[in-house]
Amino acid sequence: MVVVAGCGGSPTPSCAEITPLGDGTRPVTAFYDYRVLDPAGNYSSHGTGRLQEPTTSQLFVYDGADGLSLVFLHGERTGSVQPTGGAAITADLSGLPAEGEWVVEDDDYPDRDDVFDHGSTTSHVEWVSVGGRTDGAAFRGLASTDYRAITVDAKFNEASNRYPFSEWDGPAEENEIERWIARSGSGAPTELALDQPVEIGPGTCETGFVPNTPVETATTTPTDAPAATDTPTATAARTATATPTETPTETATPTETPTATETPTPTETPTPTETSTPTETSIPGETTPSDPNSPATDDSGSGTNGTATATANGTADPLSDITGDGFGLGVALAALAVLLGVLALTRRRG
């Protein structure tokens, strides 16, 4: 922050750079700690004791939990009313951030002697106090971006419209402000002229007042969030393409159709051709060589079934019609043929 002193008419206004007091963790109201009807000191600040100085008016910036505040502090709390050390100050402020507010008013009680009259960007304040008590205030909102600098035009002592205060017990000249300073969080305080207004605002002595710039990081990150939601859809598309690759595995099942080509078993139809042997059995009555083979087929069992099917087909019926009652002769001839076949076999072996 920059404090420019003597800006109300001095040909060479002085500039001082100040830093805030506080570390941003404690509200300015708790820091100032204004109390009414307290045994340790009525109508005074109890939180700024180490900063208080008699017959001195101070202004400084405080970094609190709720932002930056411009703080005014007049006089010193001693715990009891004193006949000397009082003050009479009138201040007109302009250029205040419209969104700021006065969060501390010392004094603040019904039918108070002090005056606080606030507009949207201006304020008129009248402080009067007796010795042993403080006066002051805190305006929160210096981090705002809607202001350039705050002008404080303060009138002290005889220049104030409230001088002398009727409640002073001692002489008026012993209840006057002798020093006005701008306190800094680092370095020595800057002495200010009692008869000149000052300006305070963001910037440096080299650049002058530079309004605060909006911090758009909070609003920028939400706009980036939708981009993050697009990437999941892209991955979803990839997973969708992965599922089609599974379909080729299903085509493997059609390859099982070669098992259906195992129809070669129908090629075993040569067995039906064995029915030709039954047809040959219709000839045994005429040719004797086929009869020796019939016993061999009877041993396997399949020949018997063949002849059975042959008779079932009706081949035996014609033979019965032909032989009629001479069935015994046919049997004898068959037996003779078998005997002759046996004799021939024995001769070959012999």
DSSP conformation class of 21: B
Domain presence at residue 128: yes
Number of domains in the chain: 1
Supply 20's token pair: 């805030």
Residue type, 111: D
Domain that holds residue 12: 2-202
- CA pair distance 262, 148, nearest whole angstrom: 96
Could you write out the three-class secondary structure of 86-99?
A: EEEEEEEEECCCCC
DSSP conformation class of 26: S
Identify the pLDDT of residue 9.
Answer: 55
Nearest to 109 by CA among 29, 161, 34: 34
Identify the pLDDT of residue 5.
Answer: 82
Identify the pLDDT of residue 152.
Answer: 98
Whether 41 contacts 76, CB under 8 Å: no
Whether 77 contacts 41, CB under 8 Å: yes
Domain presence at residue 293: no
Written as tens digits, the pLDDT of the chain (350 aa) is: 999 886 655 556 789 999 999 999 999 999 999 999 888 889 999 999 999 999 999 999 999 999 999 999 999 999 999 999 999 999 999 999 999 999 999 999 999 999 999 999 999 999 999 999 999 999 999 999 999 999 999 999 999 999 999 999 999 999 999 999 999 999 899 999 999 999 999 999 999 999 998 876 555 555 555 554 444 444 433 433 444 444 444 444 444 434 444 444 444 444 443 433 343 434 344 444 444 344 433 333 333 343 333 333 444 443 344 334 444 545 444 544 544 454 444 444 44
Whether 86 contacts 75, CB under 8 Å: yes
Sign of the CA dihedral running 238, 240, 245, 246: positive
Residues with Cβ within 8 Å of 85's Cβ and at least 6 positions away in sequence, in order, are 54, 55, 75, 76, 78, 130, 131, 132, 174, 175
Residue type, 341: G
Domain presence at residue 274: no
Domain presence at residue 56: yes
Domain presence at residue 120: yes
Domain presence at residue 245: no
Whether 22 contacts 222, CB under 8 Å: no
Give the phi and the psi of residue 255 in degrees, each rounded to 5.
Answer: -65, -15
Q: How many CB atoms lie within 10 A of CB 230?
A: 8
Whether 63 contacts 31, CB under 8 Å: no
Whether 18 contacts 219, CB under 8 Å: no
Nearest to 167 by CA among 43, 35, 37, 33: 43
Domain presence at residue 313: no
Determine if the peptide bond prior to 107 is cis (ω within 30°). yes
Whether 160 contacts 90, CB under 8 Å: yes
- CA pair distance 87, 72, nearest whole angstrom: 13
- CA pair distance 164, 128, nearest whole angstrom: 9
Supply 201's token pair: 């605002």
